[in-house]
Copies of this chain bind each other. A is one copy, B any other.
């Protein structure tokens, strides 16, 4: 799929998935796309656990009953980072930037291969969700699940997509908030 088409088609899918499986080859290709994303000072801070075995999938399915995608996913990709990010450039760490760029590549790869997903992030940081997933995946001390992507083939073919502001409200040439974007 053309990269601009993938960027255009990508959207957060929160509906139910069909029973179609997600092949391990596809999952590997999807995560490899994430690993090719840039990282601050090439520190490659993000790692991934790909959950596709029935028993493991079943454990994760129950964690987020309000989210239909989480409840019916055929596989999950969990992005793992350090609980305390070590600095890589003077006092700065780029762990959040790193995993976010990797996840965006993953979302585009998911889209290109005909699957759907949604970036679930803040929810993990609430009510012990990250800790329960960490236990299920055997994360070592010091590592935390920062993002989870439930993956499958979308059952809803035309889900509602949140509205995006137009270009003119978010981008300008040469000066912030410039009146005429074509000037």
Give chain A's interface residues, CB within 8 Å of chain B. 1-8, 10-12, 24, 27-29, 31-33, 35-38, 40, 42, 44, 46-53, 56, 80, 89-90, 92, 94, 96-98, 100-101, 103-105, 107-109, 111-112, 119, 121-122, 125-126, 137-140, 143, 162-165, 167, 170-177
Q: Tell me whether B52 and A36 are in contact (CB under 8 A).
A: no
Most chain B CB within a 10 A radius of its CB, from A36, A46, A143: A36
Q: Tell me whether A6 and B8 are in contact (CB under 8 A).
A: no
Q: Tell me whether A176 and B46 are in contact (CB under 8 A).
A: no
Q: Tell me whether A170 and B3 are in contact (CB under 8 A).
A: no
Chain B residues lying within 8 Å of A48, measured Cβ to Cβ, are: 170-172
Q: Tell me whether A103 and B105 are in contact (CB under 8 A).
A: no
In whole angstroms, how far apart are the Cα atoms of A162 and B171 in the complex? 31
In whole angstroms, how far apart are the Cα atoms of A175 and B51 in the complex? 8
Q: Tell me whether A176 and B101 are in contact (CB under 8 A).
A: no
In whole angstroms, how far apart are the Cα atoms of A27 and B182 in the complex? 12
Residue contacts A-B, CB under 8 angstroms, 29 given: A2-B3, A2-B112, A3-B3, A3-B6, A3-B108, A4-B33, A4-B112, A7-B108, A11-B38, A24-B173, A27-B173, A28-B167, A32-B167, A35-B164, A38-B104, A42-B162, A44-B165, A47-B171, A48-B171, A49-B176, A50-B172, A50-B174, A90-B126, A96-B96, A100-B104, A137-B175, A139-B176, A140-B176, A143-B176
Q: Tell me whether A119 and B38 are in contact (CB under 8 A).
A: yes
In whole angstroms, how far apart are the Cα atoms of A139 and B125 in the complex? 32
Chain B residues lying within 8 Å of A49, measured Cβ to Cβ, are: 171-176
